[in-house]
Structure 1
Amino acid sequence: MFLINAAYYDKNFQLARGDIEIENGRIRQVGEKLPYTQKDLAVDCQGYTIVPGFVDIHIHGCNGADACDGTRESLDIMAKFLLQHGVTSFCPTTMTTGEEVIQKALLAAKECADRPSEDGARVVGVNMEGPFISVEKKGAQKAEYIVPPDFSLFEKYFERSGGLVRLVDIAPEQPGGYDFAQKASRLCTVSIAHTTAGFDEAKTAFDSGVTHATHLFNAMSGLSHRAPGVVGAVLADSRVRAELICDGIHIHPAVLQTAFQVLGKRAIVISDSMRANGMPEGEPFDLGGQQVTVHDGKAVLADGTIAGSVANLHQEVKNLVSWGIPLGQALEAATLSPAKAIGLEKEIGSIEPGKRADLVVLDKDLEIVGVYH
């Protein structure tokens, strides 16, 4: 199969023009005027732009389903919905909840990863957002299930998932946090999250193996001129990638502009969406055992605490472009950078020969007109 006469973003996220050959679900070659015969299927993409499939590494739920439902059915609902919005790979994300719930969620994710559905985004890993966080910065997580960083417990989860856990969150200042980071970083990416840490504690965490920051600016100490906090530590340390929720609610657009300028290729777009994403507003939805309502695109607990989002990566990329972020940079932050964060950059995340043919076709208004996966 050939996609011909296309504008596309190349491996360096520069706009190029040419053809893309797909064979057995992989990109075989990319270039100008690739040779093909009348027997080959050739789709004329003149007037359209082809970009890599989006990679959402932090998503709890959507379309009424949640990763912590712990069922293949719920993950399939999520996968189908995500594919419609250009997401071709995702990491179902667990909440701070009971051991039985987390283990059930891990087993469901493993089943989906082992036997992917044909009409949905692929499960490429699991993101564990908790339970190793701080009570003081728990956000929408349930306090009764929070425990100090416990590597033996995490190792049990990791083995139960068949090694599918690709991200685990910790509040490194909690007892055992730095030791946990050193050990867990040998198995997966370790992220600083829901933390009371200050600048110095964050730097110690990075020296201990933490290389990721969960939803930067949210549930952590902010940037001040005399107290740089976790945000300042992340912005200043080239070893650390940072997630950003780009819905205009969690972070002001002006702050996002600054963050993208400083982070560059370290910026990662995530949705952090919950099951209300794609559903009518107003009615309550469950998130980790707590009730969430959505009004004007903002998901909150009863006390007003922001509880995830109802965003999707496609809309967030469009938001970023409208706020002055170059399209190529916004795309890389939603595709290749998250793939790198979970160690799958050789498989997904950019348009290169040998990688999966996960492609999204956009029109001139950046609306989705087709998805290949």
Structure 2
Amino acid sequence: MRYALTNGTIYSGYTTAQGYAVLFENGQILDLVQTDEIPEDFIKLDANGGIICPGFVDLQVNGGGGVYFTQYPTLESLNTIRDAHLQFGTTSFLPTVISAFQDKILQTIDAVHLAMQQSPSTFLGMHLEGPFFSPEKPGAHDTACIRTATHEELDVLLEAGKDVITYLTLAPECVEEGVLKRLAESGIVLSAGHSMATYDQALHFFNNGVTAVTHLYNAMSGIDTKQPGLAAATLDYGQAWTGIIVDGHHCHPYAVRLAKKMLAEKLFLVSDCAACVGSDIPFTDFGNFKSFYRNGRCETEDGRLAGSALTMLEAVQNTVNMVGLEVDEAIRMATLYPAQVMKLENRVGQLVPGAAANLVVLGQDLQLQQVWVDGQEVALAK
């Protein structure tokens, strides 16, 4: 079928257009045309005066629908997580694997590989968050799994994870230079996180293969004026792609505004969401600890943050309503910029000819109205 989504304000990349329609067919965007130029053989779809934008792109999805992917590394789990996040407008994402032993990581690679074959515009690869962390900044990760990267382990992971592991969070100061160089040359996006890097170390790594930073301000050395660390270097350097969790818990709205002023288009939204998204489960049991869903937070029993209960829809809403950014920029932070991180902006994150027909329609109040994936409308829960 050939469709024309019309009667809305189109936000795509740097384009804001009224009086236009998005044409799509067979799961792909064909063009943006003026409404009076819609071909007669297209079925017109009404956006009811809302906002038409690309589906959200989330580079850090731990779980959803009651499932934590690292715990249950199967294609079935990934489809459950996908279905949960579609209900909140996320149409493309990186399933994220937290620090684990090698056999578990290999299982996750197999599952993501199958998912990528099944739905390539939804599953963009895999974010391996750990296990090569600073033991001083484990966050809620299992410290028993945190270890030093070796060439022997890389032999296994790079072979099994070729074209699957596309994003890797590590503490670069804990990785031998030769290993870091090898990882950088593999084409994987290297992101600094769970790190105690000093300011000088961080700048060195930014110039030697590390191109991103994971959940700014959290689980990293900070902005101490006498001993500045990774967070300070990220803001000062200004060129590393930087994810941020805008849920009101991981960082103050002021800190988001500061990051935006310093990083501009390099700052993008992530959810870092846990299994509770799209589910009513009260906690996730990891064996060595439990992550509880309380008062909009995911936290350990002693109150430490353990991922988030955030959706990308809420992240966009919070960026506008809590932080004070403009709607078009908040949408870019959830669509174009994360797609650019992965060099996939011609496939997802924009409504351009040849891109996947992954679309979201929001009301002017930023409430979700419609979701389309590969040109198919998603039934939204009432």
The answer to whether the aligner puts 1:56 opposite 2:58 as a matched pair is yes
Which residue in 1 is equivalent to 2:46?
44
Which residue in 1 is equivalent to 2:376?
none
The answer to whether the aligner puts 1:91 opposite 2:90 as a matched pair is no
Q: Which amino acid aligns with 1:185?
A: A
Matched ranges for 1:258-269 at <5 A = 258-269=258-269
CA contact (8 A) 1:13 1:332 kept: no
1:13-48 CA deviation, whole Å, 9 max, x = no partner?
A: 545441111122111111323533443211133411
CA contact (8 A) 1:97 1:288 kept: no
Cα distance in 2 between the residues matched to 1:347 and 1:211: 21
Cα distance in 1 between the residues matched to 2:65 and 2:109: 20
SS of the residue corresponding to residue 7 of structure 1 reads strand
Cα distance in 1 between the residues matched to 2:17 and 2:288: 45
Which residue in 2 is equivalent to 1:70?
73
The answer to whether the aligner puts 1:367 opposite 2:367 as a matched pair is yes
1:102-140 CA deviation, whole Å, 9 max, x = no partner?
A: 1111111111111139xxx82111000011111110010
Stretches of structure 2 that go unaligned for 5 or more consecutive residues are 374-382
Check 1:331–1:37 CA distance in 2 against 1; reply closer, same or farther (3 A cut). closer
The answer to whether the aligner puts 1:109 opposite 2:108 as a matched pair is no
Cα distance in 1 between the residues matched to 2:128 and 2:51: 34
Q: TM-score, normalised by structure 2?
A: 0.92
SS of the residue corresponding to residue 154 of structure 2 reads helix
Which residue in 2 is equivalent to 1:170?
170
CA contact (8 A) 1:60 1:92 kept: yes
Cα offset for 1:238? 3.6
Cα distance in 2 between the residues matched to 1:109 and 1:59: 13
Q: Which amino acid aligns with 1:365?
A: D
SS of the residue corresponding to residue 108 of structure 1 reads helix
Check 1:158–1:346 CA distance in 2 against 1; reply closer, same or farther (3 A cut). farther
CA contact (8 A) 1:278 1:310 kept: no
The answer to whether the aligner puts 1:27 opposite 2:26 as a matched pair is no
Q: TM-score, normalised by structure 1?
A: 0.94
Q: Larger deviation: 242-251 or 232-241?
A: 232-241
1:43-100 CA deviation, whole Å, 9 max, x = no partner?
A: 1334111011001111110111122111111111001111111001010000111111
Which residue in 2 is equivalent to 1:316?
315
RMSD: 1.8
User: What is the aligned length?
Assistant: 368
CA contact (8 A) 1:142 1:288 kept: no
Check 1:37–1:340 CA distance in 2 against 1; reply closer, same or farther (3 A cut). closer
CA contact (8 A) 2:12 2:54 kept: no
Cα distance in 2 between the residues matched to 1:82 and 1:183: 34
Which residue in 1 is equivalent to 2:295?
296
Cα offset for 1:360? 0.1
The answer to whether the aligner puts 1:156 opposite 2:159 as a matched pair is no
Stretches of structure 1 that go unaligned for 5 or more consecutive residues are none
Cα distance in 2 between the residues matched to 1:210 and 1:367: 36
Matched ranges for 1:1-373 at <5 A = 1-33=3-35, 35-68=37-70, 69-116=72-119, 122-176=122-176, 178-186=177-185, 187-280=187-280, 283-287=282-286, 290-322=289-321, 323-373=323-373
CA contact (8 A) 2:21 2:38 kept: no
